[in-house]
Structure 1
């Protein structure tokens, strides 16, 4: 290949090697419907094997944010790919959709096949947990665009749901129960603040336990939620991401209703106590930024609480009733 392009900072041979390594991970995520292989100009997926009467495609795109800077700082790259998948598929299951396939975008200053493979391990793990196929992507080598060793990730997921089974939240009424599914920690939101608290405002070396906590990958809720949807009439689902409770729960509520959250009903992961102690943030402000230990909520009829909790617990989720729907708009917190 052209030495001129290599001298400009783009080594296509490294790119070819990275793609070859990606292929084995992509192939291992195949599911019925996949019609193409990595390396084609486009990813193809056949909806017919789904046997759906009126399929509606549901899409979501997201990134990992500045959590990537923490991964780069501590040279740990094999889990942020799961974060990438999680941020996309957890959004589309909020509409009741089954994730079908995923595409990734990896942008780097210089392609290192070993580094790309580490990132791909996390993406593979995320796709397996979500039961969706990795059918394509792009790895872009862009010298001068990024600092040495820096990279960015973006993901795109597509799922499908029967038209008459789309979850909109419009049937939510006062008296409905709010069930919380535990998070694995910070997930992938609030990291600009996390980095400020831990690395800019503090002048002490952090122990490995805290580093493990802030790089814990985002939990993927696809399998327990889809199992629940097959047995219970779920009225609303909210993925608790950036903006915490305040920004995400109201997105699924119809007009003239609100939600009351009992903050004593669930356990906050240790990392939140650490961050609050270091930052002196109030409880109220913490809930405006972070998930505080709840990564997803579902709203159901109060008569379905016991069966819902049992189904989720059988799926490995230590779910709790954390609140209820009220006739007062907005969020109310019980401390």
Structure 2
């Protein structure tokens, strides 16, 4: 039995992975219901970031996710118009990790009691993020659930927000990107994340609660990028609320250009190690010795809470939101195109013959088993 009390965030990543595998195992038992029929699920994307469903020759991807306890940060700060970027990033970037270009999204907002202005802010932000991502919001539901929904007591509206998105397999691909063609010697490119995205908030909130008490969101932020010297924000609440950068449009344009992508890992819960190993198949590993540095806020939280670097790289993206595996001959062009699109990107390492992931970072060498 796992002991979550010994975990920095108060929950057990390994237990979460076990539950996810169990849930997916039950889901797979339903695949036979659509075998040979429209909506037939793929059988070869186990462990991927999304799944494939087939309608004749049309191959679609489907992904579901939410934005977790980042919602409480918005409730505390009283700002809701950026959460749409987080909601779309979680599903759109899972889709593009498989080579599926996001096309449509449906969402569900479960609320305690309704507040018209908060709903308007949420949907305005979703509209802006959808326009950035070139997808249409074609379904939705708002459900008033009363005491079934909780949250910060001082909020204008307590709610939960989840979505499901679909996308079409990029026309340049014969099959989804799964990591099946990842080989030693290929190059890993990292896309920088300017925020926590929508993951690791249980650990961040617990740390700040212990340090600053119930009103931690108003505590002054003192990281190296604190305003006026930087751009992160004045308070810890503002820093944690910074929206997710959506990578799907840029990765789709790489595929438009015919550049090689053998694996794409969306760095969410579980950090770099848990997510990148999902595309390291055929017994290969990776050495990442030039990742982007952890965001100052992540570094500051690590120091304040005494979190071991190995744990920090499991709970947060540590400044790296997506990892791409490409041929060495394409790496420079991949980086240049991503930068031309306004993203920060660089070569971060290589695929190795030895299994496992080695991170060579400022805190030292961190090793994670395959």
1:138 aligned to 131, 137, 141, which one? 141
Question: Mean Cα displacement is larger for which, 158-167 or 253-262?
Answer: 158-167
1:284 paired with 2:310, answer yes
Classify the secondary structure of the residue corresponding to 1:180. Answer: strand
Q: Which residue of 2 aligns with 1:308?
A: 334
Displacement of 1:221 in angstroms is 0.6
**CA distance, structure 2, for counterparts of residue 171 and residue 142 of structure 1:** 46
Q: Which gives a bigger RCO, structure 1 or 2 (Cα 8 Å, sep 6+)? A: 1
Q: Which residue of 1 aligns with 2:179?
A: 169
Q: Which residue of 1 aligns with 2:106?
A: 103
Moved >4 Å (runs of 4+): none
Displacement of 1:267 in angstroms is 2.7
**CA distance, structure 1, for counterparts of residue 260 and residue 84 of structure 2:** 32
Question: Mean Cα displacement is larger for which, 105-114 or 163-172?
Answer: 163-172
How do residues 177-256 of structure 1 correspond to structure 2 at under 5 angstroms?
177-203=187-213, 206-207=219-220, 208-231=234-257, 232-256=259-283
Aligned residues between the structures: 283
Question: Mean Cα displacement is larger for which, 117-126 or 97-106?
Answer: 117-126
Task: Kindly indicate whether the alpha-carbon contact (under 8 Å) linking 2:190 and 2:291 is maintained by their aligned counterparts in 1.
Answer: no
Q: What are the superposed Cα offsets for residues 50-89 of structure 1, whole Å, 9 maximum, x if unpaired?
A: xx99321101000000111111122121111221111010
Unaligned runs of 5+ in 1: 1-51
**CA distance, structure 1, for counterparts of residue 309 and residue 182 of structure 2:** 27
Whose Rg is larger?
1
**CA distance, structure 2, for counterparts of residue 97 and residue 195 of structure 1:** 33
Q: What are the superposed Cα offsets for residues 144-184 of structure 1, whole Å, 9 maximum, x if unpaired?
A: 22246310001110001146142111111001000000012
2:118 aligned to 111, 115, 120, which one? 115
Displacement of 1:142 in angstroms is 1.5
Q: What are the superposed Cα offsets for residues 216-275 of structure 1, whole Å, 9 maximum, x if unpaired?
A: 11110111111111220111100000000111001111121001111x542322111111
Displacement of 1:113 in angstroms is 1.4
2:62 aligned to 59, 64, 67, which one? 59
TM-score of the two chains, using structure 2 as the length reference: 0.73
TM-score of the two chains, using structure 1 as the length reference: 0.81
Q: What are the superposed Cα offsets for residues 263-322 of structure 1, whole Å, 9 maximum, x if unpaired?
A: x54232211111111111122221111100010010001111111111111111120111
Q: Which residue of 1 aligns with 2:22?
A: none
Q: 1:265 to 1:107 in 2, by over 3 A?
A: closer
Q: Which residue of 1 aligns with 2:231?
A: none
Task: Kindly indicate whether the alpha-carbon contact (under 8 Å) linking 2:105 and 2:164 is maintained by their aligned counterparts in 1.
Answer: yes
**CA distance, structure 1, for counterparts of residue 334 and residue 56 of structure 2:** 27
Task: Kindly indicate whether the alpha-carbon contact (under 8 Å) linking 1:255 and 1:329 is maintained by their aligned counterparts in 2.
Answer: no
**CA distance, structure 2, for counterparts of residue 117 and residue 182 of structure 1:** 30
Q: What are the superposed Cα offsets for residues 201-228 of structure 1, whole Å, 9 maximum, x if unpaired?
A: 4347512343222101111011111111
RMSD: 1.7
Unaligned runs of 5+ in 2: 1-54, 221-233, 362-370
Classify the secondary structure of the residue corresponding to 2:181. Answer: coil
